[in-house]
Chains A and B, each alone.
Chain A
């Protein structure tokens, strides 16, 4: 069965610093991969998604993610973090034959001024 691991529960960065949030998945075939962000008191918002093609995916709010099949990873990156990026980030995997998403446990990002 497919699964998603986000090894970092909590990350703290300074505003303006670069960011990388890790995501590893387990699935035998080509997965569909997603990153969602959840701000306090808000629902989840899709940042970006990967299905096929270019392994570097651009998303909203200046985020990007790179699919690396050899490492079973889909890490989320941002070159310069803003204080408004403080939130919880979830990686998720979907597969072709099912419409449900399997989510990781999330990474909470804290941004210091």
Chain B
């Protein structure tokens, strides 16, 4: 597609349930990032995929959070046993990944707003 897409746009869930958030990057982009934007906070880096390399998971806040990227394209962020503090907007971004350094522009999707009741 023309840009990064994310689904669903909104998700309301009950505490303790698992959720899956999906990201479709720009076609041909090898780098994919997940960020979390909490109310009144900046964007918090979660995880980064680059091609076939092992992902950089250094930003995941707990072992309840995991992400995978199948076929080097679509990515799914999974949050298990959701807590109220997980409520936030989850943003996905992709870049061409050619440079391998952050000079490469990241293109962001519209985000998924997660509300945990």
Given contacts A43-B4, A99-B101, contact A104 B42 (CB under 8 A): yes
**Band of interface residues on A:** 20 to 34
Asked if A41 contacts B110 (CB within 8 A), the reply is: yes
Among residues 69 to 113 in chain A, which have CB atoms less than 8 Å away from a CB atom of chain B?
A: 90, 92, 94-96, 98-106
- A31 to B: closest C-beta gap in Å: 9
- Alpha-carbon distance A33/B71, docked complex (angstroms): 31
Which residue, B4, B33, B101, has most C-beta atoms of chain A within 10 A?
B101
**Band of interface residues on B:** 20 to 34
Number of A-B contacts (CB under 8 A): 70
**Chain B contact residues, majority secondary structure:** loop
Which residue, A42, A100, A102, A106, has most C-beta atoms of chain B within 10 A?
A100
Asked if A100 contacts B48 (CB within 8 A), the reply is: yes
**Chain A contact residues, majority secondary structure:** strand
| Chain A residues in 8 Å Cβ range of B59 | 100
